[in-house]
Structures are given as C-alpha cells and as structure tokens.
Structure 1
Amino acid sequence: VVDADAGRAERQLSALDPAGGTVAFTGDNSIPTAGVRAANHVIVAGNLLSSERVLDACLGGFEAADGALDARLIAALGAAARAGGDSRGLLSAALLVVGLDRPPLSLRVDYAKAPLDALAELHSRATGGDYARWTRHVPTLQDPERATPFTS
C-alpha cells in the first residue's frame, strides 16, 4: 500500500484485520516520537508523542480494561494521556467505532480544556438512557433495513 505513495516517508499507517492480525508502517521522516505497538486483536500507533512510554501505556490501558470495545478504547486514551500523551498537549479527542451488528458510534470533542473527560462524558450520554435505546433501532451494516417501533 505505501510503496506507491511518494510521500510515504512522512506517513504512518496501521491496520487490523478481522482475524486480529496487524500490520504497520512508520515512515522514516515521521515526527518523533513515533511508533507502533501490537498485540492480539489490537494495534496502537502514534506520532508527536512525549515518549515511547505513551504507546506502551495505551496498549496496556486497552488490555487491562473491561467492557465493550468503545469503553476499552477510552480507557486506552486515558492511559496514554497519563503517560505523557501528545508532546504538544491535548485539545481534542475523538472516537469512531463501526461494527457489522451495531450502529456507528462517532464522538468528537474539539478545543476543550479536558477533552478526554469530555469524551468520556459524551460517551456516557451516547451509550445510556433514551439515546442508547433509540440506537437499537438504527440500521446496521448487517441489518440495513432494521427499524422497529421506538418506545421509551
């Protein structure tokens, strides 16, 4: 994939296949600190990090967390931030989770004083209460025609 890219020296790419396999590329001109960590069914990549410990903390945070994928990803982001995170500081946070049998979950917080706290709060609102009940009626990739009467 990256061989055909004339700008590959500045690129970073990571991928996870449905079987849990990982592949990653970090170009030679990526801004330090840049790197990748991979384990079974998870890959962590980053650049402009305060240190390589951020990658280890992010992977460890994901592996130590319980619950659904989205909650584990938020835990991983928190662990990475506590290990030093982005070398420029943190103003934004985002989460996108797409699955065959669930509606997409797309959350984003920009220009916040505590973006990870705000993302966790937004996640809590999006995965609980009436909104969560409503999403059970949203079409999915596996069931694009799904629509049942909504009752609160």
Structure 2
Amino acid sequence: MTYSLIAKDPKTKALGLVTATGNLAVGGFVPHLRAGVGAIATQGYSTNYWYGVNGLNRLQAGENAESVVKNLTDADEGRAYRQMLLLDANGNGAAWTGSANSPHHDHIITHNLVAGGNILANETVIPAMKQGFENAVENGCSFALALLHALEAAFDAGGDKRGTSSATIQVVTPNQLPLDLRVDDHPHPIAELKRLYDMTRQSDYQSFFVRLPTPDHPHQH
C-alpha cells in the first residue's frame, strides 16, 4: 500500500521523509515532521493518523523513540493493521509493522534512517529504497535529491503492489523554512514530484524563497 523512508542529514540536522502509495493524497496522512524533534510515517492497511500527532508530542516531551512506538501501538487495539516508522532528532529509529498488513511488508532501522512499507510488490522494495538513498548520498547528491532517489529506487523495485498514484517529500531543518511538495493523484506521481522539486531549484523560485523570513531572520524581505 505505502512505502516510506525517513532520514536525517547529520550536516544540517534536517529531517526528511519521502512516501508514495497506490491511493490518493499520501501527503495528507502519512508524513508528520517537526524540526529538532523527529519525523514519523504512519501507514498500513488502516492508517492511524494520530500516531503522527501524538508521537511527535511525546518525542518533544522527552520520550525516546522506541518507547513512543511501543506505547502508542500497545494502546491501539487495531495495531495489527498499522505500520509506524519513527526517527528522532538524534537519528534514533524505531518501527512497528502489524501482522495484518498484507504481504509483502517490511521495515529497516539504521542510525539516521528508517524505511518501511506494506502491500509491496516484493521483498526487495524496502532494501532497494535504503540503498537508493545511500548511493545518492555517496554520489554527492543533496539531501532532498537523495530522498527522491530513494523513492525512485523503491518504485523501480516494484513499489506498491497496486501501483502508485500519489507521492510526497517533506524536509524540515531547524531555523529554516520547510520543503513540502505533494502529488495527490497522478499517473506518474514520482516523476511529477521530481519535476516539482526541479522547479524549486530554478533561479526565479530560489530568489523568492531565500528572501522569506525565518526564525533567525524574522524581518528579511
């Protein structure tokens, strides 16, 4: 149904999340990010949106990553139908994949990265997603572009068993404006997402973006 990757950029302390699914508007439900706190992808056969809301609040209150995932899923009688991926601001990851999510389902946790998916075309999708991100970083890609390469690698490995119709990328960095791009319904959502990202790198958009106020520079214009 959905495949997602969360990562931290150790240089900038940015947290980024990419996700795609065979349903509408994945960006409206799955990704939850808060700069300096953490990032959560909540998905599965029946997505529990509140894992994201409550999970970030728990992280901000000082609860550790594994405890947040355990406490939220333990309290949920529908946890067998959920999947939750979490990465805190220090790069510590945790995840839950309920047994009632249709195969193939999987998650991977390493320092600064968590990836997972359900109703996948095959068992290679999530390892390919992780490898796609890591290869892009090693090749010198920007953090956001590496996230998009991860999404492309997962799609190329088979992606969602039903096909893919929506995709999103979100990146949050302390004291900076977020990147938040969404494709809610498209025959080729990952390619469309990459097109939108490329447009944000063009000079006209960059000249607008860099003059916007930030917490460190609240009066710039």
Structure 2 length normalisation: TM-score?
0.62
Q: CA RMSD in A?
A: 1.6
1:112 maps to a residue whose letter is H
CA contact (8 A) 1:137 1:147 kept: no
Q: What stretches of structure 2 of length at least 5 have no aligned partner?
A: 1-71
The aligned residue for residue 154 of structure 2 is: 80
1:144 is displaced (CA, Å) by 6.5
CA deviation map 1:24-78 (0-9, x unaligned): 0111111221110122211101111101200000000011113332111100000
What are the within-5 Å matches in structure 2 for residues 1-152 of structure 1?
1-66=72-137, 67-140=141-214, 143=215, 146-149=218-221
| CA distance in 1: counterparts of 2:152 and 2:219, whole angstroms | 35
| CA distance in 2: counterparts of 1:82 and 1:147, whole angstroms | 44
- Segments of 4+ moved more than 6 angstroms: none
Q: What stretches of structure 1 of length at least 5 have no aligned partner?
A: none
| CA distance in 1: counterparts of 2:206 and 2:118, whole angstroms | 34
Count of residue pairs brought into register by the alignment: 147
2:180 maps to a residue whose letter is S
CA contact (8 A) 1:137 1:146 kept: no
Structure 1 length normalisation: TM-score?
0.89
What fraction of aligned residue pairs are identical, expressed as a percent?
36
7-16 or 129-138, larger mean C-alpha shift = 129-138
C-alpha change, 1:146 and 1:81, in structure 2 (3 Å) is: same
Bigger relative contact order (CA 8 A; separation at least 6)? 2
Bigger strand share: 2
